[in-house]
């Protein structure tokens, strides 16, 4: 299977505005932001989407969530609030087949989101 654009960013093969990275995850600004602050956080391990996770992925997903909260605080979103979105599958709007969370903030969000 060929690398996705997110895998190439995580591997340093493509440029991105990285706001956080460690050995397990990379967070970078979305090139098509849907809010004043829109950052994607992806695991370095290629996982297609949430529907594809396995029990062995639990520690990685926990780490990703902890780091998403840390990134949101770093970006100044903690006080006003922020949203974390995962799309899984074409009907949900999944555009890149690599698990990724959208950290969205900087404006009031509506509900329901879709």
Catalytic residue positions, numbered: 100
Distance CA(81)–CA(21), nearest Å, equals 22
Q: Are 39 and 27 in contact (CB under 8 A)?
A: yes
CA–CA gap between residue 4 and residue 52 (Å, rounded): 16
107 contact partners, CB below 8 Å, separation of at least 6: 35, 36
What does DSSP assign to residue 111? Answer: S
Total Cβ atoms within 10 A of residue 52: 12
């Amino acid at each position: 299977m060929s690398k996705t654009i997110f895998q190439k960013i995580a591997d340093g093969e493509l440029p991105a505005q990285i706001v956080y990275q460690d050995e397990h995850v990379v967070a970078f600004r979305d090139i098509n932001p849907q809010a004043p602050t829109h950052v994607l956080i992806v695991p370095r391990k290629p996982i297609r989407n949430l529907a594809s996770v396995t029990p062995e992925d639990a520690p990685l997903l926990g780490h990703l969530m902890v780091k998403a909260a840390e990134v949101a605080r770093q970006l100044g979103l903690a006080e006003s609030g922020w949203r974390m979105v995962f799309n899984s599958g074409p009907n949900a709007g999944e555009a890149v087949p690599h698990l990724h969370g959208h950290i969205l903030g900087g404006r009031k969000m509506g509900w329901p989101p879709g």
